[in-house]
Each structure stands twice: as C-alpha cells, then as structure tokens.
C-alpha cells in the first residue's frame, strides 16, 4: 500500500506501509503524482490523505474494508460535497444525498482521504487529464468509473474517531458547470442553468458559456474487466437461503415458480409464501403446497389483508436462513440461479444483490456489474442480518415507490445494492389475479388529482435533496408541457402548480 500525504495543492511526502519514503516530482500536481505511482506500483492500493489527518488515518484496518481491487473509497465528514448541493439539480440518483454515518455508495469523492487500486486508477485516470484541482480529478475518476463498474463509496472507517477537521475546498459555479458538461448529456447544462435561475434566482450565464469549451468524458470507451475481483471479506457462512413470495390469485404461475425452485442445484431451506385474498370467507386455493412433496420446507400464510408491503413484511418476519431471496409469483429462472448468486456474493463480498429482470423478448441493455440505483423487490437477494432495521413502508401500500424506499433504507444502513447482469430472472408480468380490488386512496375525492403520485413525492421528501426534488419538478413540467397547446399555457401552469402542491400536501400526510 502506498500513501500520499498532501497539503496546499502539493504532495508533502509519499511512503509505503513500511514507512519507506518514495521519491516523486516536487513540481507535479497531486493527480500527476498519483498517476505516476499507479504506473510505478501497478499491484498496490494507493491512498491519499491530507497532511492534517495523518495521525487519524486508519491505515492498519484499511484492508478490512478496501477488500477488492475494483473499489474507490473516500470520506469527508462535512455534509456538503466538493461540487456542492447544486449537483442535485442534474442527478436524481440515490448517490447524491450521502449518509456520512455509514458506508454509503456515491461517486462524490473528497481529497481529504481516500484509496483506489493502482490498476483501476491507471485505466480510468489514463483517459482523464491529471487536473491541477485534485478534488475535480477524483470526482471525475469516480463518476466515469462508477458507470463502468468501479464501486465507489463514502467510507467513514478511513479515519479514526475524533479526527480533526481539515479545510474543505468547494467548487464554484464555473467548476460545477464544467463538471456537468464533461460528465452528463448536453441538455443538463441547460437544465442546471434553468434550475439555478428558477429556484435560486441566479443568472449564471458566464459559467454556462465557460462550460461549452470542455469536451465530454461520458463517452470514454473503457473496459474494467481486466481488473480481477476477489473479495477478502467473508460474507457467506452457512449458505442457507429462504425465499419469500407474496401471491394473490396466480395459482398456476406460483406453481411454476416452485417447480423452478425445486430444480435448483443449491436448494433453499424455506419457501415462505404469503397468500392474499381480500374476499370475506375465502380460503386458500394453493392445495399443491400440501398435496405434493417439495424438497424444501414451505411456510404458508393466508391473509385477507391485501397489499404487497404487508405481505412481504409478514414473509420477512419468518426468515430463518442466512440469506433471503425476494422473489415474485410470476418469475421464471434456471436451475443454477441460487448457486450463481452465492458465487457472485463470495467473489464481490456484497450483502445485497439484484439481477437482470427482463420480460419475454426484452433486450438486455445493461451488461456491466455495477452499483444499482434501483432495488427490485421481486428479483433481489439480501443477507438476513441487513434486514434488522429495514421493512417495507406501509405508507406506500397500494401506491408507488416501495421498492425505491426499501433500497434507500438498505443504503442508509450501510448496505449497497450491486447489479449482476449475468444473473437473469424472467418476469412474465402475469395478469392480475382475480381477487384484486380497487383501493381507495386518501386523495381520490380531490377534484384535481395530485401529480406526481403522493407516494412518489413521499419517497422524494424522505430520501432526496431539495435540489433533486426541484429538478424532478422542472423535468416533469417540461414533459407534460410538450402535450399542451401554447395558447393554454397559463391554465396549464396553474393546474400543474395545484397538482404539485396537492401531491406535496398528501405526501406530508402520509
């Protein structure tokens, strides 16, 4: 491991873990020194640390959380990142509002302290100019790398407790616009300009024009497959798996799912089925659960209370195994699904895994293992110990956004969600079962219906920044405005505001 200590935009010293001094060019920028070291020591992790934090660097424990070569970690205890809150105006992902109390997935990096393996830095940094602004360079490496499969995190364990606060450098609007131009599609610099104009009453015309002189890095052609991944973490012990399946009125589809589970090379221990039928006096129709012999234990709960959130929570409360497969009643998969899942968990040292989830004849668009911005409650695997403080939010029952919320709860408890494209589950999108009833929402009696759905607004208010919510509002406005006549603009605008405010009102009620 190589450690680079820096201060005042210059490298002070470079040492190995054995405290051996390593020579470097005193006139080079910090980024240039890192790139030089990456070529000189291609098999080593490279750590950067502000000089004021030298005695607080948790170097002895570094390998316990920097556990494979395709990672990039950083940490800054301050709430605002280098790029500032304005980055929320151009990105709606869960990677912007960072929980500084736990390991949290984000590409927002800091020059205060961090680590990346030389092999990753050589590949990604080699296509990026070694900027004199070290924070800009680090954020560019992580932003480009995350899309390509580099796993990036805010990691408080990089520093010992009670570490002193070093000076944080913050980007101005010129740097923010440049970053957006270099790492997003062109339309986002226009949207950033409009967001700042509308929501912050600023007119950043010069930063906007300045950004036009920079080349976009989003189209960088790189392949990180040459970097081997073999985690040193031990996340699997018993290899036991429970499967949870909420079901309602899909008897034959559920039977097919059970047949797929029965054919697995690595069998689950328990299959936990929560059957719902809201009709009064109804009984279970799943006679095959007891009439046939299955190579696993079936836990069957029948309830008159409909709702996927309640059903999944009931199922999760019955989990006994080390791992949980959140399945659905209209999925199909091959006999190596569970075996492959365990192999990938072992290789990457992950606690939450989500799969490719395609419908019949749907092309697969994403082919890179990376940090997922979504969570699928019908195609994900979670270590049971991660679920102690996590459940499906009943405020979102019969609405939208429960998957998003569940994924955000996991992230805010320190568990990232990794997408593996080679693990595939077919989603049949079966027709709704015959027992579903129209659920009356609290806002159904409103003369003007709220838009977006109050449950979506609820999720935004709960998990995203104000800038991200403002961006969502502006983008929604433009999408809807396309369908409206210019002559009706005033009426349309007033209606849009009323619907938005109603959504905000009911989200707060939820």
Tokens at 488, concatenated: 């009706």
Q: Determine the pLDDT at residue 405.
A: 97
Q: What is the mean pLDDT of each run of 10 residues along the chain (510 residues)?
A: 95 90 93 96 96 94 95 94 97 96 98 97 92 95 96 97 81 97 96 98 97 88 91 96 96 97 98 94 94 97 95 98 97 98 98 96 94 96 97 94 97 98 95 66 89 95 97 93 77 92 94
Q: Do residues 150 and 48 both lie within one domain?
A: yes
Cβ-in-10-Å burial (0-12, 13-18, 19+) of 234 comes to exposed
- Asked if residue 491 belongs to a domain, the reply is yes
Tokens at 223, concatenated: 């392949």
Q: Determine the pLDDT at residue 221.
A: 78
CATH at residue 296: 3.90.550.10
Q: Determine the pLDDT at residue 218.
A: 78
Q: Do residues 26 and 143 both lie within one domain?
A: yes
Tell me which residue of 443, 442, 367, 378 sits closest to 406, measured CA to CA.
378
Q: Answer whether 353's CB lies under 8 Å from 370's CB.
A: no
Q: Do residues 348 and 466 both lie within one domain?
A: no
Q: How far apart are CA 147 and CA 372, in angstroms?
A: 10
- Asked if residue 443 belongs to a domain, the reply is no
Q: How far apart are CA 334 and CA 340, in angstroms?
A: 10
Q: How far apart are CA 376 and CA 308, in angstroms?
A: 13
Q: What is the pTM of this model?
A: 0.94
Q: Answer whether 424's CB lies under 8 Å from 333's CB.
A: yes
- Asked if residue 501 belongs to a domain, the reply is yes
Q: How far apart are CA 140 and CA 283, in angstroms?
A: 58
Structural domain ending residue among the three candidates 167, 183, 198 = 167
Q: Do residues 257 and 126 both lie within one domain?
A: no
Q: Do residues 323 and 363 both lie within one domain?
A: yes
Inter-axis angle of helices 187-200 and 173-183, to 10 degrees? 150
In 118-212, at which residue ranges do the beta strands (DSSP E only) sit? 151-154
Domain count, the chain: 4
Q: Determine the pLDDT at residue 486.
A: 67
Q: Do residues 181 and 148 both lie within one domain?
A: no
- Asked if residue 449 belongs to a domain, the reply is no
Q: Do residues 397 and 491 both lie within one domain?
A: no
- Asked if residue 18 belongs to a domain, the reply is yes
Q: Do residues 276 and 197 both lie within one domain?
A: no
- Asked if residue 478 belongs to a domain, the reply is yes
- Asked if residue 444 belongs to a domain, the reply is no
Q: Do residues 13 and 147 both lie within one domain?
A: yes
- Asked if residue 398 belongs to a domain, the reply is yes
Pairing assessment for the beta strands 323-326 and 370-371 based on DSSP bridges: unpaired
Q: Answer whether 171's CB lies under 8 Å from 83's CB.
A: yes
Structural domain ending residue among the three candidates 131, 147, 167 = 167
Q: How far apart are CA 483 and CA 464, in angstroms?
A: 28
Report the alpha-carbon angle 477-480-486, nearest 5. Answer: 95
What range does the domain containing 496 cover? 454-509
Q: Do residues 421 and 467 both lie within one domain?
A: no
CATH at residue 22: 3.90.550
DSSP string, 197-263: HHHH----HHHHHHHTTS---TT----GGGS---------SS--EEEEEEESS-HHHHHHHHHHHHT
In 359-410, at which residue ranges do the beta strands (DSSP E only) sit? 370-371, 380-383
Q: Three-class SS of residue 280?
A: coil
Q: Answer whether 74's CB lies under 8 Å from 82's CB.
A: no
Q: Do residues 135 and 265 both lie within one domain?
A: no
Q: Do residues 122 and 192 both lie within one domain?
A: no
């Amino acid at each position: 491991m190589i450690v680079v200590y820096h201060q005042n935009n210059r490298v002070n010293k470079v040492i190995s873990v054995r405290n051996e001094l390593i020579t470097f060019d005193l006139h080079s920028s910090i980024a240039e020194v890192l790139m030089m070291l990456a070529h000189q020591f291609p098999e080593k992790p490279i750590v950067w640390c502000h000089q004021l934090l030298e005695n607080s660097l948790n170097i002895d424990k570094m390998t316990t959380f920097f556990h494979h070569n395709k990672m990039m970690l950083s940490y800054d205890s301050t709430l605002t990142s280098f790029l500032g809150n304005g980055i929320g105006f151009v990105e709606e992902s869960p990677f912007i509002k960072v929980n500084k109390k736990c390991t949290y997935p984000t590409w927002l990096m800091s020059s205060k302290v961090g680590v990346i393996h030389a092999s990753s830095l050589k590949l990604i940094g080699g296509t990026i100019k070694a900027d004199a602004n070290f924070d800009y360079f680090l954020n560019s490496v992580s932003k480009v790398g995350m899309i390509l499969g580099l796993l990036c995190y805010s990691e408080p364990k990089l520093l010992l407790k009670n570490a002193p606060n070093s000076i944080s450098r913050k980007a101005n609007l010129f740097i923010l616009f440049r970053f957006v131009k270099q790492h997003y599609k062109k339309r986002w610099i226009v949207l950033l300009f409009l967001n700042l104009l509308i929501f912050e009453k600023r007119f950043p015309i010069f930063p906007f024009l300045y950004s036009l002189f920079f080349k976009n890095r989003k189209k960088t052609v790189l392949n990180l497959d040459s970097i081997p991944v073999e985690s040193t973490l031990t996340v699997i012990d018993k290899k036991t798996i429970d499967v949870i399946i909420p079901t309602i009125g899909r008897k034959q589809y559920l039977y097919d799912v059970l047949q797929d589970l029965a054919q697995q090379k690595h069998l689950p221990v328990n299959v936990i089925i929560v059957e719902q039928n809201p009709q009064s006096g109804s009984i279970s129709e799943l006679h095959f659960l007891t009439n046939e012999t299955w190579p696993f234990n079936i836990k069957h709960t029948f309830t008159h209370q409909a709702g996927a959130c309640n059903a999944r929570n009931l199922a999760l409360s019955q989990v006994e195994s080390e791992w949980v497969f959140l399945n659905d009643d209209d999925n199909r998969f091959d006999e190596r699904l569970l075996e492959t899942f365990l192999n990938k968990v072992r290789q990457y040292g992950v606690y939450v895994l989500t799969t490719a989830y395609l419908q019949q004849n749907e092309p697969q668009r994403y082919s890179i293992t990376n940090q997922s911005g979504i969570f699928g409650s019908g195609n994900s695997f979670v270590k049971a110990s991660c679920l102690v403080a996590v459940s499906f939010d009943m405020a979102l029952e019969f609405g939208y956004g429960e998957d998003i919320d569940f994924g955000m709860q996991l992230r805010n408890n320190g568990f990232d969600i990794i997408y593996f494209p080679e693990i595939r589950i077919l989603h049949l999108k079966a027709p709704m079962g015959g027992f579903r009833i129209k659920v009356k929402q609290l806002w159904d009696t409103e003369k003007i219906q709220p838009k977006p759905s109050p449950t979506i607004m609820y999720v935004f208010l709960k998990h995203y920044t104000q800038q991200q919510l403002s961006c969502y509002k502006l983008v929604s406005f433009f999408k809807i405005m396309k369908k409206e006549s210019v002559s009706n603009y005033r009426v349309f605008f007033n209606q849009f505001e009323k619907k938005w405010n109603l959504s905000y009102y009911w989200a707060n009620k939820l």
